[in-house]
Every structure is written in structure tokens, then in C-alpha cells.
Amino acid sequence: MHPKINAQYNLGLAYIHFKPQDYKQAIYWLSKSADQGNMVAQHQMGIMYREGYGVLKDYVMAYMFFNIASANGHG
């Protein structure tokens, strides 16, 4: 996996966990990483959609991201 994919994921997590939180930026960076195949970012995107962090709650999108992450070897 290319190092920038991990950096994008880590930046997304930083926007979630550090104050002030910015879920919109978290979604931006996590989705970049997820789109490039980072299974952990794909799983995190599922959580974001399931909980409605930075996006409207969407259980279909959450399910999709969880399934993609699982198909790529997560969990």
C-alpha cells in the first residue's frame, strides 16, 4: 500500500479524534484512502455512515463500506 494512502487515513482519524473535531474533513480524507483500497479506512467510512458523523446516517452506505472492507480482508 502506498504511504500516502496511510497518511490520508491517519489525517482522517486526526480530524475525528483531536479537538476541534471536523467530521467533514475526516470524511474527505477517509474517503480518499478508502477509494484507493485501504480496508481500515473503508471500515471507518462504514462507521461514519452508520453513526452519521459528517454525513447523514445512511445504513445502506454503512453496509456497503463494511462489506467492501470485509471483502478486502478487514475483520
Kindly report the CA angle at 8 between 15 and 69, in degrees rounded to 5? 100
Structural domain harbouring 59: 3-71
Dihedrals φ, ψ of 46, to 5°? -60, -40
Helix, strand, coil percentages in the chain from 3-state DSSP, rounded to 5: 70, 0, 30
Structural domain total, the chain: 1
Q: Tens digits of per-residue pLDDT, 19-68?
A: 999 999 999 999 999 999 999 999 999 999 999 999 999 999 999 999 99
Return the CATH number at 13: 1.25.40.10
Read off the pTM: 0.93
